[in-house]
Structure formats: structure tokens, C-alpha cells
Amino acid sequence: MKLWKVTWLRRTSQVVFLWAFLHLLLRTEFRGSVRVAGEATRVPFPLQLFFDLDPLVALANVLSSHLLYRGLWLCLLVLIPTLLL
């Protein structure tokens, strides 16, 4: 019986995160302008949070620009529990 609960929780979390990923993927649309000099390009809130939480995006940013951006600490919210579990 306990194995069934664990399987149900795992599948439920997989469906929720798949839905969240697909939802954000479909909302991805660049509506900004690249002509503005000196100003950072902004994306809508849910996408910005998704990119801030993604450790791979943080690593790619560090490797490409050799700078740490201010949202880098958010990806630690994903990395630390992953390493502990």
C-alpha cells in the first residue's frame, strides 16, 4: 500500500512539472526590443522565474559572460535540495 502512495505522488509531481514546463514553453514569446542600449532585456514574470530557477541557464550565463547575475542565488533553491536528496 505504501509503494502505491509513493508511485502516485511521483506521477502526480511529474504531471504537474510537465504541465508547468509546457505552459511556460508555450508562453515564450519575445515582445521586447533589442534596439534599446544599456537596458537589460526583460521577459514576463513566469518565464523570468523559470529562467532564474534553472541551474543550467545560470551556468551558461556564467560561462558566456564571466559574470554572476543577481538572480543566481535562486538556482540554489533547486541545487541544494537536489544534492541533499
What pLDDT, on a 0 to 100 scale, did the predictor assign at position 25?
78
Residue 68 in domain: yes
The total of structural domains in the chain comes to 1
Residue 16 in domain: yes
Q: 8: exposed, middle or buried (C-beta count within 10 Å: 0-12, 13-18, 19+)?
A: exposed
Residue 32 in domain: no
**pLDDT per residue over 46-69, tens digit each?**
777 777 777 787 788 788 888 777
Residue 12 in domain: yes
When pLDDT is averaged across residues 18-37 and rounded to a whole number, the result is: 73
pTM: 0.48
Under DSSP, the state recorded for 51 is H
When pLDDT is averaged across residues 36-49 and rounded to a whole number, the result is: 67
**To 10 degrees, the CA torsion angle through 74, 49, 38, 64?**
60
What residues make up the domain containing 18? Answer: 2-27+44-84
